[in-house]
Amino acid sequence: MSTLSDLVYAQGRASEEDVEWLHRLAGDGQLLADLAFADIVLWVPTPDDSFVAVAHTRPGGAATLFYRDIVGGRVRPQWNTQVREAFQTGRIVDSASPDWFEETPTRVRAVPVVRAQGTDAPQTLGVVTRHTNLGETRTPSRQQITFNDCADDLFGMVASGEFPDMTAPTSPRRGAPRASDGLIRLDVDGITTFASPNALSAFNRLGFVDELEGESLVEVVTTILPDKRQFDESLPVVVTGRAPWRADMESRGVTVSLRTIPLRDHGTRIGAIVLCRDVTEIRHQEQELITKDATIREIHHRVKNNLQTVASLLRIQARRSHSEEAREALTHAMRRVAAIAVVHDTLSEGLAQNVEFDEVFARVLKLVAEVAAAPNTRARTRSSGRFGTLPSEYATPLALALTELVTNAVEHGLAGQEGDVEIIAARNEEKLEVRVRDTGSGLPEGQVGNGLGTQIVRTLIQGELSGTIDWHTLTGSGTEVTIEIPMRYIAQA
């Protein structure tokens, strides 16, 4: 299904500012649907003088009218005149009589979506339709009446270009309060005129045992907050209902998230809606995740330090060894340990357990070139292409395998001579292909080394990465090793 941006841009009329405005409005579609107890559909005009649905939200507390998705569809003929009138006149248009939709009586309200442009004239971007199911009509409760009044106020603000408020926080926080979680209606002086049962329960858990209605929300919050404890600096502005911000308040081990939506009537402030939600468990889980992430990073950091210590010990032992064979074996082991340490060092710097392998390999390549080259060997190493991002369980074996291959190319392919070692990476949706080629003496065709390094490479590529590896001699001179790793396994990691 196309996204809102794709559908709007396809009509050829919208700017980036228009699309952002529509995105903000669609982001509050659930709030509008829950307050209105109705389906909410957002329409934008098409080049052929029709309208296309770009967003649809179903109510959480009432039956939906649209069991099938209508996003991307054209406006139905029975709504077309009403929607066009709202778009052209910039006024809210209600249906004159009940509209029948699939044998269900409905009431339709068309609200022009107007974007305020500072000193410039407001621009109508589209239309929001509110589809109320009349088949479930019953005597409305006080909460339903208040919710509908709040919805009417917000739709009026949509039509006057005052909602959504572009100064409101743009990044949605996990556990953001919804109308069903708790709603408080404030008048222009910040006095509570209505508090839903869920809102009252949330404040009761914070320690407020009286009724909220008739009380100043600022004074209520002041009595709840513990003395000498830091609180969210935006909280005073939120509880007065003067700014469209969010804040958390904590007391008695309970955390309640608040979101304020100031209500205006053509620029005049008439009150506010305060949504509240008990997010104690959510915040606790977030804190646990933060602690877990910090612990994982610290573990990677300590593993890296320990590996570097082991590498240093191996280097010292190699220098003191009197046997050339032992010195070479210790040097190889030191280099392998150092390559693994580079991966853990990268993991310790971020939250994700994925690594930018190009950065890792650049460090590994520099390490190998410095350690592997003999006094009478001059190797020039270079790499091209991109490895991209790899999960840690793939980055470590691949780094170690490439360390072995580059080391072999320098130590054996270019032994006692000057030459090049090139690493070429190519990645697509199906596979990651890496070629390691040198300009050395090359291997006899059909023969592959049987040393420890070759065994390590085979085990890592074939056993751990489910890939393939092939050694062959280049035309003229040199050796090329080709590694292929299937991307389907990387995607599942």
CATH number where 248 lies: 3.30.450.20
Q: Residue 303 in 3-state DSSP?
A: helix
Residue 351: predicted pLDDT: 60
pTM: 0.67
Averaged pLDDT for residues 112-134: 89
Q: Which two tokens stand for residue 384?
A: 């091209």
Q: Do 265 and 290 fall within a single domain?
A: no
**Residue 493 banded pLDDT, cuts 50, 70, 90:** very low
155 and 8 in a common domain: yes
Query: Is 420 among the domain residues?
Result: yes
Most trustworthy range by pLDDT among 19-33, 329-343, 433-447: 19-33
Mean pLDDT throughout 359-382?
71
Same domain, 319 and 303: yes
Is 169 among the domain residues?
Answer: no
Any domain includes 479: yes
pLDDT classification of 19: cutoffs 50, 70, 90: very high
- How are beta strands 378-385 and 418-427 bridged, if at all? parallel
In this structure, the answer to whether residues 274 and 300 fall within a common structural domain is no
CATH number at residue 101: 3.30.450.280
Label residues 215-242 b or e (16+ Cβ within 10 Å = b): bbbbebbeebbeeeeeebebbeebbbbb
Mean pLDDT taken over the chain: 85
Q: What is the mean pLDDT of residues 246-256?
A: 89
- For 361-384, b/e burial (b = at least 16 CB within 10 A) is bebbbebbbebbbeeebebebebe
pLDDT at 20: 92
DSSP-assigned letters across all residues of 77-140? HHHHHHHHHHHHH-S-EE-SSPEEETTEEEEEEEEEEEEEETTEEEEEEEEEEEEEEGGG--PP
Q: What is the tens place of the pLDDT at every residue in 264-308?
A: 998 899 999 999 999 988 888 878 877 777 777 788 778 878 888
Peptide linkage before 45 cis (omega within 30 of 0): no
Structural contact between residues 13 and 45, judged by C-beta atoms closer than 8 angstroms: yes
Residue 54 has pLDDT above 90, yes or no: yes
Note whether 410 and 466 are same-domain residues: yes
Give the best-scoring range by mean pLDDT among 167-171, 294-298, 326-330, 480-484: 480-484
Q: Would 128 be classed as within a structural domain?
A: yes
Same domain, 152 and 120: yes
Q: DSSP class of residue 216?
A: B
Is 328 in the same domain as 382? no
Residue 191's domain comprises 179-278
Whether 222 maps to a domain, the answer reads: yes
Same domain for 467 and 344? no
Q: Are 287 and 380 within one domain? A: no
Q: Does 231 map to a domain?
A: yes
Residue 51: in which H helix or E strand, if any? Answer: strand 51-57
Q: Does residue 437 share a domain with residue 302?
A: no
Longest CA–CA span in the chain (Å) reads: 100
pLDDT of residue 356: 85
**Which of these ranges, 55-64, 207-216, 408-417, has the smallest mean pLDDT?**
408-417
Question: Is the residue at 240 inside a domain?
Answer: yes
Among the three residues 312, 336, 351, which one is the final residue of a domain in this structure?
351
**Do residue 40 and residue 140 come from a single domain?**
yes
- Could you tell me the pLDDT band of residue 25, with boundaries at 50, 70 and 90? very high
In a domain, 433, yes or no: yes
- Contacts with 68 (C-beta within 8 Å, 6 or more apart), sequence order: none
18-22, 255-259, 286-290: the lowest-pLDDT one = 286-290
Domains held by the chain: number: 4
Looking at residue 83, its amino acid is V
Q: Are residues 9 and 135 in the same domain?
A: yes
